[in-house]
């Protein structure tokens, strides 16, 4: 029972991390209808910036705010300078730009900060004794932080999309950017804001996850998370916030249980199981579980 609870907690925590990054993917998809393959590496890069600030003896919270701001600016700049000029051409062009960003950002982090792993300080005490006991299982504070951040973010994003003018404009642009433009929405600004937001959310996911991750902050830290997060986003259909969260948590818990109880899969086939989840879901429901059906006009 204790073991089960501990697994569940690990699963929920990992799942919340996947869900955070999945939210970032969903925000971009809702705004522009494209998938940001560089999302994980963008988060990695901003996390490195946060880590670097803490080594320059800035307090952690300033480092995190700086990472969020950098994420926002980078996201908006990427949209404006790299994605928008090629988006009208085709998917291939967007994909290749994203792949370029993917390898470029990752290697750039390696060039600037070196490839050895770093320890990112946590916002809350995360020593071995900093936990609440929950029916014998340990619930660490930094895991709680991630859960809290996810809940707050989900509420904020829902409020943003449902109850603010900005959110309304974002939905309008995603739905039909030409009509939105004709109706007076400043489409280009909305797009940039969407990417900026997702950059900031990714940055948040990055700084929250690295104190938890087994491998700490290295060049490969975000990769697995990105794969799982895209599986989560696809699970929810790429345009549903709740779907992304449900997807992220499902994948996190499933993964923790598989690793714990099915010894054949063990720790080695994590990403492969994420792959099978993606493919299975897309096969049954190409639009995900919570996604909107898109109608193709001939």
Partner 1 sequence: MTTIDETTSMSNERSGTAAGKPRGPRFLIVQNSPRHRAVQAVLIALTVVALLWAAGQPTFRLGQFTNVFIIAIAVVGLNIVTGYTGLLSIGHSAFFGLGAYTTGILIVRYEFAPLATIPLAVLFAFVLGLLVGLPSLRIHGLYLALVTLAVAVSFPEIVRRAEELTGGAAGMVVRSRYLAPPEWTGLVRGERAIWMFWLSAAVLAIVMLLVRNLVKSRFGIAMRATRDNEIAAAANGVSIARTKILAFGISGAITGLAGSLFGMYIGALSPDGSFTLMKAIELVTGLVLGGIATQIGPLVGAFAVVFLPYWTASWAEGPLSGVVFGVLLIALVFLMPEGIVGRLGLLVRKVVAIVPSDHPRRTAASHDPPPEPPSPPGDEPLTASR
Q: CA-to-CA distance for 246 and 249, rounded, in angstroms?
A: 5
Q: What is the SS3 assignment for 49?
A: helix
- Annotate 74-103 with DSSP letters as a single string: HHHHIIIIIIHHHHTT-HHHHHHHHHHHHH
Residue with smaller CB distance to partner 1, 115 or 158: 115
Query: Residue 65 half-sphere exposure, CB side, CA atoms within 13 Å?
Result: 5
Among 58, 69, 110, 167, binds partner 1 (CB under 8 A): 110
Strand partners, 131: 140
Window contacting partner 1 (CB under 8 A); options: 67-75, 103-111, 162-170, 188-196: 103-111
Give the tokens for residue 46: 């901003």
Could you tell me the smallest distance in angstroms from the CB atom of residue 117 to partner 1?
A: 15
Give the tokens for residue 120: 């990112």
Query: For residues 37-66, which are near partner 1 according to CB under 8 A?
Result: 37
Give the tokens for residue 96: 């290749």
Q: Is 35 in the site for partner 1 (CB under 8 A)?
A: yes
Could you tell me the smallest distance in angstroms from the CB atom of residue 75 to partner 1?
A: 16
Count the Cβ atoms, other than its own, within 10 Å of residue 154: 17
Window contacting partner 1 (CB under 8 A); options: 128-136, 175-183, 252-260, 271-279: 271-279
Q: CA-to-CA distance for 185 and 188, rounded, in angstroms?
A: 9
Sign of CA dihedral 149, 151, 154, 155: negative
Q: Name the strand (E) or helix (H) holding 249.
A: helix 241-261
Among 134, 261, 286, 292, binds partner 1 (CB under 8 A): 286
Among 1, 214, 268, 295, binds partner 1 (CB under 8 A): 268
Q: Is 289 in the site for partner 1 (CB under 8 A)?
A: no
Q: Is 77 in the site for partner 1 (CB under 8 A)?
A: no
Strand partners, 134: 137
Binding mask 113-152 vs partner 1 (x if CB under 8 A, - otherwise)? Answer: --x-------------------------------------
Could you tell me the smallest distance in angstroms from the CB atom of residue 150 to partner 1?
A: 22
Q: Is 262 in the site for partner 1 (CB under 8 A)?
A: no
Could you tell me the smallest distance in angstroms from the CB atom of residue 274 to partner 1?
A: 7
- Annotate 268-288 with DSSP letters as a single string: TTHHHHHHHHHHHHHHH-TTT
Could you tell me the smallest distance in angstroms from the CB atom of residue 145 to partner 1?
A: 28
Residue with smaller CB distance to partner 1, 94 or 137: 94
Binding mask 221-250 vs partner 1 (x if CB under 8 A, - otherwise)? Answer: --x---x--xx--x---x------------
Question: Binding-site residue total for partner 1 (CB under 8 A)?
Answer: 49
Q: CA-to-CA distance for 263 and 241, rounded, in angstroms?
A: 33
Q: For the purposes of burial, counting CB atoms within 10 Å of the CB of 85, is it exposed (0-12), middle (13-18) or buried (19 or more)?
A: exposed
The residue ranges that bind partner 1 (CB under 8 A) are 34-35, 37, 82, 85-86, 89-97, 99-108, 110-111, 115, 223, 227, 230-231, 234, 238, 266, 268-272, 274-275, 278-279, 282-283, 286, 296, 298
């Amino acid at each position: 029972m204790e073991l089960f609870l501990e697994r569940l907690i690990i699963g929920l925590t990992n799942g919340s991390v996947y869900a955070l990054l999945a939210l970032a993917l969903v925000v971009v998809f809702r705004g522009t209808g494209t998938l940001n393959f560089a999302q994980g590496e963008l988060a990695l890069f901003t996390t490195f910036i946060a880590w670097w600030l803490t080594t320059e003896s800035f307090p952690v919270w300033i480092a995190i705010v700086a990472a969020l701001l950098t994420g926002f600016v980078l996201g908006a700049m990427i949209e404006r300078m790299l994605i928008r000029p090629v988006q009208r051409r085709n998917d291939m062009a967007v994909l290749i730009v994203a792949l370029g960003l993917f390898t470029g950002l990752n290697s750039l982090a390696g060039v600037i900060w070196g490839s050895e792993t770093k320890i990112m300080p946590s916002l809350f005490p995360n020593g071995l004794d900093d936990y609440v006991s929950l029916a014998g299982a340990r619930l660490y504070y930094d895991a709680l932080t991630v859960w809290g951040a996810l809940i707050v973010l989900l509420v904020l994003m829902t409020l943003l999309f449902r109850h603010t003018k900005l959110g309304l404009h974002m939905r309008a642009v995603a739905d039909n950017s030409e009509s939105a433009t004709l109706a007076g929405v400043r489409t280009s600004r909305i797009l940039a804001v969407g990417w900026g937001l997702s950059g900031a959310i990714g940055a948040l996911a990055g700084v929250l996850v690295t104190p938890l991750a087994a491998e700490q902050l290295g060049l490969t830290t975000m990769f697995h998370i990105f794969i799982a997060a895209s599986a989560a986003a696809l699970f929810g259909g790429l345009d549903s916030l709740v779907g992304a969260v449900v997807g992220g948590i499902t994948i996190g818990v499933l993964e923790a249980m598989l690793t714990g109880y099915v010894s054949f899969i063990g720790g080695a086939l994590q990403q492969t199981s994420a792959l099978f989840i993606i493919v299975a879901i897309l096969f049954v429901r190409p639009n995900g579980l919570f996604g909107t059906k898109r109608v193709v006009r001939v």
